[in-house]
Structure 1
Amino acid sequence: MSITSALVLYAVIWFMTFLIVLPIRVKTQGDLGDIVPGTHAGAPEEHHLKSKAWITTGVALVLWVIIGGIILSGWISISDFDWTKKLTTNQ
């Protein structure tokens, strides 16, 4: 795996993790009872974005090390996903 591949893998894992972490602990205007006129009640009032970004970075780093280790070890390779090859050898 090249450096570019490793960075792309980390970026994909980071953004997927961030989208999972983003809705956790969100306090909306409707929850707090202070709805600004012209906005939706579900608009976030307190989003804790900085702490979520740090949590995402740590979780993504752990996942990246695990997934990168699996890829570099050769435990799972591209040939494992080549289903057309497996279909032709079974016939």
Structure 2
Amino acid sequence: MSWATGLMVYIVIWWTVLFAVLPLGVRRVDKPGRGEDHGAPERPELLRKVIITSAVAAVVWLGFFVLHQLDVFSFRRLVE
């Protein structure tokens, strides 16, 4: 696997994990003010979620990399 392929796989995993992590710990605003949405979170804590997403994506990518290196699955077999 080239470094470009590994990077692209990590980005896809990262975005998928981000959408799974975003709803964690969200609390709605009790009394939204003028111009605020009822579903808007009080404190989105995006930096914390980005850090969690990066850590989980790294672990998942590492698992993918190990399985790929052990030739458990191969993209080339799909073409043959």
Relative to the length of structure 2, the TM-score reads 0.88
Deviates more, 1:34-43 or 1:52-61: 34-43
Which residue pairs with 2:27 in the alignment? 27
Which residue pairs with 2:12 in the alignment? 12
Which residue pairs with 2:70 in the alignment? 73
Between the aligned partners of 2:45 and 2:66, the Cα distance in structure 1 is 32
Runs of 4+ in 1 over 2 A off after TM superposition: none
Count of residues in correspondence between the two structures: 79
1:33-72 equivalence runs, <5 A = 33-72=30-69
Relative to the length of structure 1, the TM-score reads 0.78
**Counting helix residues as a fraction of each chain, which structure ranks higher?**
1
CA displacement, residues 61-81 of structure 1 (integer Å, 9 cap, x when unaligned) = 1000001111122111132x4
Q: Which runs of 5+ in 2 are unaligned?
A: none
- Once the two structures are TM-superposed, the CA of residue 44 in structure 1 deviates from its matched residue by 1.7
Q: Which runs of 5+ in 1 are unaligned?
A: 86-91
Deviates more, 1:18-27 or 1:33-42: 33-42
State the Cα RMSD in Å. 1.5
The share of aligned pairs that are identical, in percent, is 32
